Amino acid sequence: MPIGIDRFEDEPGETLDIAEGSQPHRILRFLAEHNDQAFTQTEIYEATGIKRGSVGAVLSRLEDRGLVRHRGRYWAIGEDDRLASYAAQQGSSSASTTDDYYGEE
């Protein structure tokens, strides 16, 4: 999907290029929502519904980019600065969707 030239020019080069709804997006969103915990691949599979065989491959690619951390059997959200803006973006996106649907309180 093309983007406008204004967005192209204004968007920082360090932003995460992860399509919403994609497997990496779903895993990062889950881990960001639980940033005080670490999970096994099975727990991530059960929480996200991503095929069990795909979870490991996605986690490995995310680890290569420094977006997740891995110790033993456990995986957690990474400490990359880009993740803070990603988490903020996801939070504001969710809040605006909720406000639009339910109205402001």
Closest among 93, 77, 92, 82 to 27, alpha carbons compared: 77
Angle subtended at Cα 87 by Cα 83 and Cα 89, rounded to the nearest 5 degrees:
115
Distant-in-sequence, close-in-space partners of 70: CB < 8 Å, separation ≥ 6: 59, 63
pLDDT in tens, 29-77: 999 999 899 999 999 999 999 999 999 999 999 998 889 999 999 999 9
Give yes or no for residue 102 having a pLDDT over 80.
Answer: no
pLDDT of residue 19: 77
Calpha distance 95→100 (Å, rounded)? 8
CATH of the domain at 68: 1.10.10.10
Domain assignment of residue 104, yes or no: no
Q: CB of 39 within 8 A of CB of 27?
A: no
The total number of structural domains in the chain stands at: 1
Token pair for residue 24?
């990496």
Residue ranges making up the domain that contains 55: 21-93
Q: What is the pLDDT of residue 5?
A: 77
